[in-house]
Structure 1
């Protein structure tokens, strides 16, 4: 099976089932007659923009980030308006509060943009901590993120 067909099948499996690990994904692919290595699946996951998300009950599973039809920053603004409830600047950090189960998706969008001034990102189910090098960087980042909520 070719790459495109395999990736289409991966998207189908993830959208129809609760897949929690690469091993579980490999098992489901094998049931469909597809043999792939863990390294191949890792590449597919990255290329398909598949991330770990929390479902409504708090369980972690794979989910697919929406296709990007716009500029990356516009995509982040849209995700912010849909999911973020508050952004708080605390010394050299920013705490981003989101709707339950959306923090990991917002964090993935932030990480993908590689915003200057962020040296680390931690995400839970409804909270993201963005760590900056300095308080000045964190303040500039806070102003940028708050503008996404306006």
Structure 2
């Protein structure tokens, strides 16, 4: 099966149904007569920029919005609320745990801010790790900014 056709079928499946897992996509393609592996589906999900979004049917795959990341305080508050961000801190590290699929979008918004106190932003599917410059005052400053964005 050609990659382009497979990815078109994946897009059709997520636009017309409730796809909650990679297994759902494997089954959707199998119903159309195409056998694919979960590993192939995983690569396609990444290439197609699919994320899981909370809906009334649970977490389902959707195409990530290709828009400028949120940078205003209100946009960040909304993003953090929708991503169900939970904070954690140790030394000069701040962890932002997110809903599955939301990590890259939260990381993109934080990177866009270009806070001079941030050394690096790392993300995965369900979280973001901020590595801050090693001054404890810097860590406190960023922590307080993030807490304010989450609580307001």
TM superposition score category, shorter chain reference? 0.5 to 0.7
Gaps (5+ residues) in structure 1?
Answer: 69-73, 97-101
Paired residues in the alignment total 131
Corresponding residue number in structure 2 for 1:139 = 141
Q: Could you tell me whether the CA contact under 8 Å between 2:104 and 2:124 is conserved in 1?
A: no
TM-score, normalised with respect to structure 1: 0.59
Matched, 1:84 2:86: no
Q: Could you tell me whether the CA contact under 8 Å between 1:120 and 1:132 is conserved in 2?
A: no
Q: Could you tell me whether the CA contact under 8 Å between 1:52 and 1:60 is conserved in 2?
A: yes
Instruction: Report matched runs for 1:1-150 at 5 Å.
Output: 1-56=1-56, 59-67=58-66, 74-77=68-71, 81=75, 83-84=78-79, 93=94, 106-111=102-107, 115=111, 116-118=119-121, 136-137=138-139, 139-140=141-142
Q: Which structure's CA Rg is the greater one?
A: 2
Q: Cα RMSD between the aligned structures?
A: 4.2
Any idea what SS the aligned residue of 2:51 has? strand
Gaps (5+ residues) in structure 2?
Answer: 112-118
Deviations 1:5-54 (A, max 9, x none): 21111011011111111111101111112221111111001111112221
